[in-house]
A and B are shown apart, each in its own frame.
Chain A
Amino acid sequence: MKQRGITILTDASLITCIVQRGTADKIVRAAQDAGAQGATINYAQGVGVRERLGVMGLAIEVDKEVITIIVANDQADRVFEAMYLASKLDTPGMGIMTLAALDKIATYVPYELVERLAGKTDPQE
């Protein structure tokens, strides 16, 4: 019986984007257009900016959507900026996003791709 193996992916980043409820679809679409593979959306509630905006804070939903997207490092900035523009984060109260490096990812990778690409990068590099 064939032994099970694990395929480790490196050179990846995690984009986390917190926006108002109902806007995630549009942002995920922009991220996909910029090359992202997929996205996870969580519902959450936020505290902070609403209070500090005073009366204007009423225009901001308490309910948030948290979008997490794993991207390759080479795409990271492009996707990050596409999401920034799509979610209009340059407007007060719209949300916040982060980009962080990931050590490892493991998931299903098609067999022929593993064959072709494995060993190309040396993990110790």
Chain B
Amino acid sequence: MSNEIRFGTFVRVATLRQDIISFNDLVGVDAVRLGDKIRLRPIDAYRLLTPYASSRLFEQARAVIPLALYLLLFQVFILRQGIADAGLLTAGLLAVIIGLMLFMEGLKVGLMPFGETLGNTLPVHSPLPVVLLIVFLLGIGTTFAEPAIGALKAAGQFVDVTTSPYLYTLLNQWSGALVMAVGIGVGLAAILGTLRFLLGWSLKPLIYITLLPLLTLTFYLSQDADLAPILGLAWDTGAVTTGPVTVPLVLALGVGIAGAAGRGDSSLSGFGIVTLASLFPVLAVLGLALFIVNEQSPQAIILAAQALSESPSGNWTTRSPGTEIIGGVRAIVPLVLFLLFVLMVVIKHKPGRPAITAYGITLCVAGMILFNLGLTYGLSVLGAQAGSLVPAAFSPLDGVLGSPLYSLAAGLFIAIGFAWVLGFGATLAEPALNALGLTVDKLTNGAFRKSTLMYAVSFGVGCGIAVGVSRIIFDWPLAWLLIPGYTLAIAFTWLSTEEFVNIAWDSAGVTTGPVTVPLVLAMGLGFSEAVGAMDGFGILAMASIGPILSVMGTGLWINWKIHRKHVRSEQRMLTSDRTPHTGLAA
């Protein structure tokens, strides 16, 4: 052995330079006693921070850049139009990416721990009515903090007061009340969803009970020419509300409550709140619209709007950077104060590390402000620009040379195909869908594969957006699409098993994130303006019903396949009774 060198020893000597220190010495040195701060060289800090920042930046960039590129390339190559304000647009998109990055990180560091503490301790500390009240208020608070809500207000600028006065007033004078109504809807949905966890209710009857008044009201409003344009907005709010703030915070609380009652282990716990939170706001907004109709006449609204536009607003809070800053602070601070109040006063829990919480909240506010700025200058402009130019493919537009660019049939095909690809691609790229897919795969023991779900949902959203755009082009009343669509959904719900009902109805709300929503909203508005339609809302509403139908349809098909397999294997067992019983389980 003495003449041989072990390969391992050779490698050790030949590679990295090694300094050997005894751990005893290291721990003994005074400078690094436990609890002392470690001093970092600048290079260390740089190496520590780069992966942290870049991974988070990349996550948001991956959602924004492909979508933006798709819209821009489509505009340049298919529609052969230059891009207006390219510099400002790029800056705006950059603001969206950085804003979302800061916001999500702040949410994770600053607000999520609150939500988890609340979910774990509140149900133990307080009686059920108090818990439900807090759930309700939390639902309202998170709605205000939802990034996509800003897109609704931004959309208000594009609405023409003379064609649809009630829509205009809802989005401008009543915009606070509108968000409040949405929040109340989400709050009620959160209460009902929590009760559902607690008492183990089935989702099906809740869907029937919610849809009945909803469809009746929709039918009633669609009969009135002044009120019909509101339907699109109302149904769109459902898709807007269920975003990255509401879903995790409300879910954390709901699951915590169910867990405290010993019901947290159901495989379906967690589902359902999203569904209810995308239906109840519609009801609330329709209610608000009815209230406004009794308060104000269309003529009064038009007069008020004209008076407002004539008086130049000198106040800094109503001009561009001011509104975004105010909006950002107003979105986050009430939610934070509410959470702090509940934590400190109701359950008397001292937040562990105030500095870190403060850091997270600061990030949230800064991110929200940046995101709002990016929304105004980036996403909304981009969506509106693309939306207003796409109709040039099939109809003559002022300002677009040589339009229609293609023959009517080809142009329509291009415009609707554009919408379909946009919906399909944006949904497939949504990170929340990936997470849902994993859950569903586990829940159904692989019968419903992750990729099957992702394609089913994306297909549904793509078709929904295509139908929504077609509606604007051909000026179909939205109620004609919503009522049959949801009636079909009710029929599917009746036939499907509880699991698929939960998955399908939730998938609609989960997939519309803070990038897709503003983009699609702005696109619809630009589109409707270009073709001279009554209102540009309703695309998101169609994008919600699309995946519900496609996912439940896929679920029914999978169940039918499993059923057929069972029938066949039973037949085989009858014909040859020596076959072992294992065939049935497959």
Interface residues of A (CB under 8 A from B): 22, 49, 51-56, 58-60, 73-78, 81, 84-85, 88, 91-94
Contact = CB atoms under 8 A, between A and B. Distances in A.
16 contacts: A52-B36, A52-B38, A54-B37, A60-B48, A60-B52, A73-B6, A73-B8, A74-B6, A74-B11, A76-B8, A77-B11, A77-B15, A78-B11, A88-B47, A91-B47, A93-B48
Contacts of A53: 37-38, 40, 48
B534 interface: no
Interface of B: 6-8, 11-12, 15-16, 34-38, 40, 44-45, 47-49, 51-53, 55, 109, 355-356, 359
Contacts of B51: 88
Contacts of B53: 59
Contacts of B38: 49, 52-53, 92
Contacts, number: 58
Given A74-B8, A81-B15, A59 B47 contact: no
Given A73-B8, A93-B48, A78 B36 contact: no
A83 to B, nearest CB: 12
Nearest to A22: B55
A94 B49 CA distance: 11
Given A73-B8, A77-B12, A81-B15, A92 B40 contact: yes
Contacts of B356: 58
B15 A56 contact: no
B15 A59 contact: no
**Interface centre among B11, B15, B34, B40, by most A CB within 10 Å?**
B11
B6 A92 contact: no
Contacts of B37: 52-54
A41 B53 CA distance: 25
Contact of B109 (A58, A92, A94): A58
B105 to A, nearest CB: 9
Contacts of A74: 6-8, 11
A15 to B, nearest CB: 13
**Interface centre among B15, B53, B55, by most A CB within 10 Å?**
B15
A80 B1 CA distance: 25
A91 B35 contact: no
B552 to A, nearest CB: 34
A58 B48 CA distance: 10
Nearest to A59: B52
Given A53-B40, A92-B40, A78 B15 contact: yes
Given A56-B40, A76-B8, A81-B16, 5 more contacts: A49-B38, A54-B37, A55-B355, A56-B48, A56-B49
A81 B14 CA distance: 12
A84 B15 CA distance: 12
Contacts of A77: 8, 11-12, 15
B8 A75 contact: yes
Contact of B49 (A49, A59, A73, A88): A59
A52 B38 CA distance: 6
A76 B12 CA distance: 9
Contact of A91 (B11, B36, B44): B44
A76 B11 CA distance: 9
A76 B7 CA distance: 10
**Interface centre among B6, B34, B35, B37, by most A CB within 10 Å?**
B37
B303 to A, nearest CB: 53
